[in-house]
Structure formats: C-alpha cells, structure tokens
Chain A
C-alpha cells in the first residue's frame, strides 16, 4: 500500500510539473469559455451523485470525487 501511494504521488508530481511547463493561464477577460457549465467539473451535482451511487453499488471501488457523499447499505 505504501509503495503504491508513493508511486502515485510521484506520477502526480510529474504530471503537475509537465503541465506547469506548458500552460498559459487565461487573463480575466479570457475566461468566458471556462465559465460554461460543461467546462466545470461538478456543475450538475445531482447527476454526478446519481452516477457515482450507481457505480458504488456495483463495483468494489468507492469514492475519489470528494468528501461528504454519505454512505449506503448497498456496498
């Protein structure tokens, strides 16, 4: 478990550094497209919660999308 966590952290760091080397963050007046609903990660929270609940009840994996989702007797 510990070595797995360390390798994930190493991957994450690599991706982050690679990303920082290339991106050009937008200026305030360039953020119109980023504000579109489909460009946000959790715009439709009800839909996201429903989908995650379905998968949680049918697969071993559970979570990763944030905290506070609440438990259920389905898994």
Chain B
C-alpha cells in the first residue's frame, strides 16, 4: 500500500517496448511468438515482469506508528510502535525476509462494556519473524518462524507455505500451514500458566486476468484449543475451542490513464464463537508528477455478536459455569475507516510514505441486523511514517 519505488520507470519502459510491436496482424503475431520464445529462454525474462517469481531487489523498511483511541469523554490506549522489515535476495533462488516491532502501550482498558480500569496500564510487546523462501522452477517453498512477547503473554510458531506457478506465470496457487503456541500468565493471577495451541491452513489462487487486472482469493481455516478468555475482564469466560473460516478476495485494476490503480478487497469470516463478519475495502492509488503518489482509502466492517456476549447492564445474563463476556469487541457493531497515504519516491531507491487513518465503531452502523444496545462508540486514529530503501 505504501509508496511506489524506482521500479516504476523500468516497468513502464518495458510495457512501452511491448507496445511498439508491428501493426499488421500477421507480422504482429509472428513478432509476438518470436518475442515469447525469446523471453522463455532462461535469464532473458526481465525479472520485474515475473511478478510471481523470486524478487530481484532487496527491501529495507523502517516504520513508526503513533496510535491513539478513545470513547466519548475518555481517552483509552496510546501506542507507539517502531518497526523494521527487510527482504534480502541471497541469490537467484533464495530469499530471506524478516522484521521486528516494538509496541509501547499505555492508558486505560475496559473492564466490561465501557467501564474503564481506574489505574493506567503500561505494557510493551516485542515481536519478530523470519521467513526463508527457496524458488524452484514452477514452485517455491517458504519456511518461517515467529515470536511475540509481552509481560504476560508469549506466542511462538512456525509456518510452511508452498506456491505453485502456472506455466505462463499468470496463475499462482498457494498452500500454507502454520502452528502457534500461546502462553498466557496474567499479572492479576487469573488463570495462571494458561496455554492455547492453534493450527491454520490457507489455500488460495491468484490470477492475472488481463494486462491491467489481477485477482486473488484465499480460504483460511483456523482451529485452536485452550484459554481464550480475557483474564483482565471480570467474569469473562469463553469457549476453549475456537474455529474460524475466512474467505478473502482482493482485486487490483490499473488504469494507464490517469496512471492510477483501484484496489478492492472483501472478507467474509465465520467464527465458532458465533460472530460472523463482513469487510469491504477500497483504495485508489493515484500517481502524481515528480514521484508523488496519493492513496485515499475506505474500509467498512460489520459483525454480529458472539453467542456468549451479553448486553448491559453488567453482569446481566451471567450464569456460573457458562460462557460469558461483556467485551464490546464481541458485540454487534459496524466500523468505518477513512485513510490516506501520501508517498514520495526519492533518489537511489529511497521512498517515504506518510499514512493517516481515522476509525470509528458504532452499533448503529451494523448491516444485516441491529447493533448491540447500550454501548458507546469507539474511535481511533493512527499516523504512520515509512522510509523504504530498495536495493
């Protein structure tokens, strides 16, 4: 989503070179066949044109996120998060990538519904991941590991992903698998030394539809077992098994005039907790003169409530031994995000991007049913600065 880079000029030059083919149909077909044959030779295909093959350029990215959220009359959490990401092609077939993030969180968190904890909370999270990918002829295999650590939480896991490319490189099949082990040890002593284990499977297909449009559709199944409650919310009791099924489809359409790209996304997600959600998002990436770009975006999200979410007042509906939650994140609501990214390509592979987003949850904005009664709106805004170097 962030800024463009120096590849653009080269790509455009390549596209224009393709467009200078002979005009007579017979000549054009012959020239096309010859060009295709030439491009099929190893090492002849411009690496940039192989969107689904090994990247030929490295990336180093630094990011700073400043996040704040609130409800009417009260500020809630503030997060400052520096992060970095690097992708390094070792040679023509091996790529290593990874990153780290440090979240410093402070503020007040809800105990139940919109009642906030009296004392300020201070916590931090450090997370990192690394992935190694080996590209073979018509497929690639990635193996990754990740860890996320907080004062009261530790998550570790690994993943394997296989991508299979069609002969013409216009279609990619993705098969992936990940396993995660989470360890929860709340500072208030509730549910000490708790664990949950989960598995995640993804199958997907990406298809170049035309020279200017591409679509991707992924199915993801998650299954987990263990401790899912929030130990800092009184009486919060949740099922010990969670299964989710998500269907994500994304579509990108490029317009040579006015040199812009429309990016659309839709996700449908079923959760065994009882919540079903729909998300649609759209962004318009507009290239501007002198290396500038501007990307306005909108996202709409709506969810139904979890089966065990009970409406206010607290603790109405609570029964000993049964699942119960007054966490408004499990309520029925709609949410809207409006954001913009302003990017600038600099010299020598450097680019910079500034991102600003405004987010609001409102029970009245739910589609396909009524929102949960008796809860307040929730708002957030975040700013993000990205500095990227391609090499």
Which chain A residues have a beta carbon within 8 Å of chain B's beta carbons? 1, 4-5, 8-9, 11-12, 15-16, 19, 22-41, 43-51, 54-55, 58-73, 75
Decide yes or no whether B106 CB sits under 8 A from chain A.
no
C-alpha spacing A75/B205, complex, angstroms: 29
C-alpha spacing A12/B301, complex, angstroms: 20
Which chain B positions have C-beta within 8 A of A19? 207, 209, 215
C-alpha spacing A36/B12, complex, angstroms: 9
Could you tell me the distance in whole angstroms from the C-beta of B299 to the nearest C-beta in chain A? 8
Decide yes or no whether B225 CB sits under 8 A from chain A.
no
Known: A39-B51, A47-B1, A71-B157. 16 other contacts (CB 8 A): A8-B219, A28-B35, A30-B15, A33-B211, A35-B7, A35-B49, A36-B8, A37-B5, A44-B386, A46-B99, A50-B83, A51-B1, A60-B277, A67-B161, A67-B220, A70-B127
Contact, CB under 8 Å: A64 / B155? no
Which chain B positions have C-beta within 8 A of A62? 222, 244
Known A26-B210, A36-B254, A38-B4; contact A61-B303, beta-carbon cutoff 8 A? yes
Complex interface bits, B143-170 against A, C-beta within 8 A gives 1, otherwise 0: 0101110101101011101000000111
Who on chain B is nearest to A25 by CB?
B170
Known A16-B217, A63-B246, A73-B152; contact A25-B159, beta-carbon cutoff 8 A? no
Contact, CB under 8 Å: B36 / A47? no
Contact, CB under 8 Å: B158 / A68? yes
Contact, CB under 8 Å: A60 / B220? no
Which chain B residues have a beta carbon within 8 Å of chain A's beta carbons? 1-5, 7-8, 11-18, 32, 35-36, 39-40, 45, 48-51, 61, 63, 65, 67, 69, 81, 83-85, 87, 97, 99, 101, 125, 127, 129, 131, 144, 146-148, 150, 152-153, 155, 157-159, 161, 168-171, 174, 176-178, 180, 182, 184, 198, 200-202, 205-220, 222, 243-250, 252, 254, 256, 261, 263, 267-273, 275-277, 279, 285, 293, 295, 301, 303, 306, 329-330, 335, 355, 359, 361, 378, 380, 382, 384, 386, 388
Contact residue among A11, A31, A38 (Cβ-Cβ distance under 8 Å from B49): A31
C-alpha spacing A41/B216, complex, angstroms: 8
